[in-house]
Structure 1
Amino acid sequence: MITKFLIFTLIMFFSNIFGQEITGSWQGELDVQGNKLPLIIHIEKDINGYKSNFDSPLQGAKGIPFQKTVFQNNILTLDASNLGIIYTGKFGNDKIDGTFSQSGMTLPLVLIKKKGEETVIDRPQTPKPPYNYDIEEVSFENATDKNILAGTISQPKNFDKNAPILIMITGSGAQNRDEELFGHKPFAVIADDFAKKGIATLRMDDRGTGLSSKGKESDTSENFATDINSAVEFLKGKGYKNIGLIGHSEGGMIAPIVADKNKNVKFLVLLAAPGIPTSDLLQKQSYDIGKSSGASASTLETNKAVNQKIYEFVKNYNGNNLKTDLKPILISEFKKFPKGEIPAEQIETVAEKQASQISNPWFQYFIKFNPGVYLSKIKIPVLAINGSLDLQVSAKENLAGIKKSLEKAGNKNFEVIEFKGLNHLFQTAKTGNPAEYGQIEETISPKVLEKMTAWILQNKF
């Protein structure tokens, strides 16, 4: 699950003092365990004083608005009440020298006036035309939910439709057909590599992105599975006979759902896929990323206990209004965090936002999901891979879970591999912390590309 980490929706406050000095663009870097995350803040005057927005270049975030600005007595305060984020800095000598705090971390952040051109992000693996393979833009209807899906078929010239073609399934959150994140386009890189080696792919825009039509607010992973099932039927209708699925993160959770229902799916490639109940996965994800980001031991333990209580409440809830019933529990639990972690006056606001997010149908389905239910029925060939530095879907626990379920299914043709030194995106990494994703030039390790193509071409599906 490609979760949206460290994209900070800061709420900024300024006054009318020193208007000429404070307006303009300011830039600074957060240093998270040695990982540099640049932020660019744009400030301009409006009828109420000022308005502001920010960019996070390495994360592909641009023009995200701030709600308010306060600048008094040369002190700048940035307050994201809904996320428990506080930044306080002193203005002077053309810079703002301050500290940024979030979830137990306190980091220095110095802002200076921005000069020069925008940051250029180097992504050398992104394919560029002209291509030495065929590309076809396609669209089709999901027969179940009636939404329209748009995508790209990439295939070698003179492609034999008995050869393998894989439908690509993105991770969590609405993503385009390239699974674009932090300037990286991993699905475009994979499709390009596959096509050069004799393998075709279909990659699609998720519901509500690119050229695909919007879904419903109540959509869950089960709905997204019907999109992939419709893609299988679409390719079958075009004469393709050797159809596989390649899913990353949540996409690796969706792939077995589809394979269990549609016998036209001949093989699976699971990239950083869940292999244990997702409530357990999220617990470990939260702990590992928090620890890597410098959260205190007390914060980690408190957060673990709170998450466990909330997840169990959601999994066992039988009432009629989860948001309303969950909010007082969240308020009570948030009060247990170390002093200053969530300011007392902000607890209710944070609880309101969290209750709204948790009560979303997608999250309710996700938190109750056990991938073993589907994996334990999969008998077709499976390649499951993960990186040893994956802090979002831990390699050890989830690969072991996949292996156990496939053995239970009596599957005789599967391979489970942990690649050393790779993160959730299969980049060569130092720590695996999501803050690194945008800083690494590599989109996906060539070792992973080589393994996937060799496995697909060596198998006889």
Structure 2
Amino acid sequence: MKTVAALIIIFILSIVNIFSQEISGNWSGKTKRGDKEITFVFNIKQENATYLTTMSVPTFRVSGIKPSTTTFANGKLTIDGSNVGMYYEGIFNNETQQFEGTYKEGGIEMVLNLKKGSVKIEESRRPQEPVKPYPYYEEEVVFENAKAKISLAGTLTLPSENGKFPVAILISGSGPQDRDESFMGHKPFLVLADHLTRQGIGVLRFDDRGQGESTGDFGNATTEDFSKDVLSAITYLKTRNDVDIKNIGLIGHSEGGIIAPLAANNSKDVAFMVLLASTGISGAELSVMQSKTLRQFPVKDEVTYEKNTRKAIAIVTSNKSETEIKNELTTHYNNFIRPILMSLNVPEEKVNLFIYSQLKTSLQPWSRYFLQYNPADEIEKLQIPVLSLNGSKDSQVNAKINQEGIRNALIKGGNKDYKIIELENLNHFFQECETGKLDEYRKIEQTFSPTALKEISNWILKRI
């Protein structure tokens, strides 16, 4: 009996040890998506009774991602990043000294076990990325969006430490982005900023709210909110003695290209605008197009599929309460998407995960705003010089359809200085490519086509 009692005490003490474990620090692990091994690192800090997590994905050279909540109780670690589209849940295994769980992002679920400590990653640098020391001035800056009560951190590069220079503000695409717009192992904004600054054009690029060194809540922000962050950047630049305040411009990529007109139409201090892979049609129409071109599963009847996609959008954008919308949308997805996926022998748990992910995304403030926003309405009001560049092989934003919308809006508004170019064989990120499909981005060594870079800098230099 004494032996049994002793074992019970040891067992109880081991449980207490697990549940009261100090989890602050780095936790890392590797998982696989197809043939690609992906490394995750979660830096967890405890502040009073709460935990704060910053996530990095070294494989894709992405860092500074801030999930909204982290909880640890009874050996269970939950990192809820619904604000950035991810979720992790793991149970601590005392024998292996690791959290064993799953990572979810979108409709994807992967086994991910985390061990204490960081993993050593060989730093890879794409050929176009600049190497310090740079032949220009660089400064880390912080500015405030006072109304939103957030701080935005970024990098300002200027041709020299002395003088007054034109400055372009870079505006990133959809999803949580850092100042370099890091994606699939590339840093397009770093390459663009380096090129422009070497040509005599200053650049301000900054972490999206709630990302990197910036504060705020990304998950509850809309395109309009992001435009106010850009206005804060303009206000900040106007306080500096080394900025030519008559030549502040905006360069927006993808969603950044529909944020830029919103900001410019609420400011008298924007001198020029460059739209990169921007849209010129409503968010609803773009979503219908992308639901067909980016869909990862086949359907037997495209007409019916589009009809049901439009019905989902109508439900999301209705004036009903969030509860009513959620209930209607759940029913619709179960009637519409579930039969398609089940007919393809997709396991039920994966179908449930996909529908759950679709629901969460659809109900976000960003989605509801985006679906009802037509950038052509704002582009029409622009009376400043505008350059629009799109790649002919962009699989996310069709060049011809969207540039037609941009062109018609500028003509309708009577803009006298605009240039619209479709660049051959370039994808959504302006890489020279073969197919333009998403899975090709990380395989291409080039980050930003030199042709596109020259088009941007040459056009700006003629207007400042």
TM bucket normalised to smaller: 0.7 to 0.9
Q: Which residue of 1 aligns with 2:197?
A: 195
**Residue 273 of structure 2 is aligned to residue 275 of structure 1:** no
Q: Is the contact between residue 81 and residue 350 of structure 1 (CA under 8 Å) also seen in structure 2?
A: no
Q: Which residue of 2 aligns with 1:39?
A: 37
2:294 match: secondary structure: helix
2:460 & 2:298 partners in 1: Cα distance?
44
Q: Which residue of 2 aligns with 1:209?
A: 211
1:333 & 1:206 partners in 2: Cα distance?
35
**Residue 429 of structure 2 is aligned to residue 404 of structure 1:** no
**Residue 303 of structure 2 is aligned to residue 298 of structure 1:** no
Question: CA 1:59–1:431 in 2, change beyond 3 Å: closer, same or farther?
Answer: farther
Q: Is the contact between residue 153 and residue 200 of structure 1 (CA under 8 Å) also seen in structure 2?
A: yes
Mapping 1:89-104, distance limit 5 Å: none
Q: Is the contact between residue 425 and residue 433 of structure 2 (CA under 8 Å) also seen in structure 1?
A: yes
Q: Which residue of 1 aligns with 2:333?
A: 330
Q: Is the contact between residue 211 and residue 218 of structure 2 (CA under 8 Å) also seen in structure 1?
A: no
1:232 & 1:308 partners in 2: Cα distance?
37
Q: 1:123 aligns with which of 108, 122, 126?
A: 126
The residue type equivalent to 1:420 in the other structure is: E
Q: Is the contact between residue 208 and residue 218 of structure 2 (CA under 8 Å) also seen in structure 1?
A: no
1:29 & 1:346 partners in 2: Cα distance?
15
1:229 match: secondary structure: helix
CA drift of 1:302 comes to 5.8
Q: Is the contact between residue 155 and residue 200 of structure 1 (CA under 8 Å) also seen in structure 2?
A: yes
2:157 match: secondary structure: strand
Identity of aligned residues (%): 38
Mapping 1:435-450, distance limit 5 Å: 435-450=439-454
CA drift of 1:79 comes to 10
Q: Which residue of 2 aligns with 1:318?
A: 320
Mapping 1:44-443, distance limit 5 Å: 57=59, 121-157=124-160, 160-161=163-164, 163-215=165-217, 217-239=219-241, 240-290=245-295, 295-298=297-300, 303-321=305-323, 322-337=325-340, 339-340=343-344, 342-344=346-348, 347-443=351-447
The residue type equivalent to 2:414 in the other structure is: G
1:261 match: secondary structure: coil
The residue type equivalent to 1:156 in the other structure is: P
CA drift of 1:142 comes to 0.7
CA drift of 1:153 comes to 0.9
Question: CA 1:80–1:223 in 2, change beyond 3 Å: closer, same or farther?
Answer: closer
CA drift of 1:280 comes to 1.1
CA drift of 1:238 comes to 1.6
The TM-score, its normalising length taken from structure 2, stands at: 0.74
Question: CA 1:319–1:429 in 2, change beyond 3 Å: closer, same or farther?
Answer: same
CA drift of 1:410 comes to 0.2
The residue type equivalent to 1:127 in the other structure is: P
2:109 & 2:264 partners in 1: Cα distance?
46
Question: CA 1:329–1:261 in 2, change beyond 3 Å: closer, same or farther?
Answer: same
The residue type equivalent to 1:190 in the other structure is: L
1:272 & 1:216 partners in 2: Cα distance?
22
2:317 match: secondary structure: helix
Range 299-308 or range 387-396, more displaced: 299-308
Give a deviation string over 1:167-218, Cα, whole Å, max 9, x none.
1111111111111112211111111111111100111111111211123643
CA drift of 1:288 comes to 1.9
Q: Is the contact between residue 137 and residue 159 of structure 2 (CA under 8 Å) also seen in structure 1?
A: yes
2:57 & 2:221 partners in 1: Cα distance?
29
CA drift of 1:361 comes to 0.7
1:207 & 1:201 partners in 2: Cα distance?
18
The RMSD of aligned alpha carbons is 3.4
1:55 & 1:214 partners in 2: Cα distance?
21
Structure of higher RCO (CA pairs closer than 8 Å, 6+ residues apart):
1
Q: Which residue of 1 aligns with 2:17?
A: none
CA drift of 1:325 comes to 3.4
1:452 & 1:336 partners in 2: Cα distance?
47
CA drift of 1:65 comes to 5.8
Q: Which residue of 2 aligns with 1:459?
A: 463
The residue type equivalent to 1:140 in the other structure is: F
CA drift of 1:435 comes to 0.5
1:26 & 1:165 partners in 2: Cα distance?
41
1:188 & 1:55 partners in 2: Cα distance?
18
1:412 & 1:426 partners in 2: Cα distance?
26
Q: Which residue of 1 aligns with 2:24?
A: none
1:298 match: secondary structure: coil
Question: CA 1:190–1:216 in 2, change beyond 3 Å: closer, same or farther?
Answer: closer
Q: Is the contact between residue 299 and residue 340 of structure 2 (CA under 8 Å) also seen in structure 1?
A: no
2:107 & 2:220 partners in 1: Cα distance?
28
The TM-score, its normalising length taken from structure 1, stands at: 0.74
Give a deviation string over 1:354-380, Cα, whole Å, max 9, x none.
222211111111111110110110110
CA drift of 1:151 comes to 1.1
CA drift of 1:352 comes to 3.3
Q: Is the contact between residue 61 and residue 182 of structure 2 (CA under 8 Å) also seen in structure 1?
A: no
CA drift of 1:118 comes to 6.2
Q: Is the contact between residue 57 and residue 119 of structure 1 (CA under 8 Å) also seen in structure 2?
A: no
CA drift of 1:346 comes to 5.4
Question: CA 1:433–1:222 in 2, change beyond 3 Å: closer, same or farther?
Answer: same
The residue type equivalent to 1:388 in the other structure is: S
CA drift of 1:350 comes to 3.7
1:58 & 1:141 partners in 2: Cα distance?
29
The residue type equivalent to 1:233 in the other structure is: T
Question: CA 1:301–1:431 in 2, change beyond 3 Å: closer, same or farther?
Answer: farther
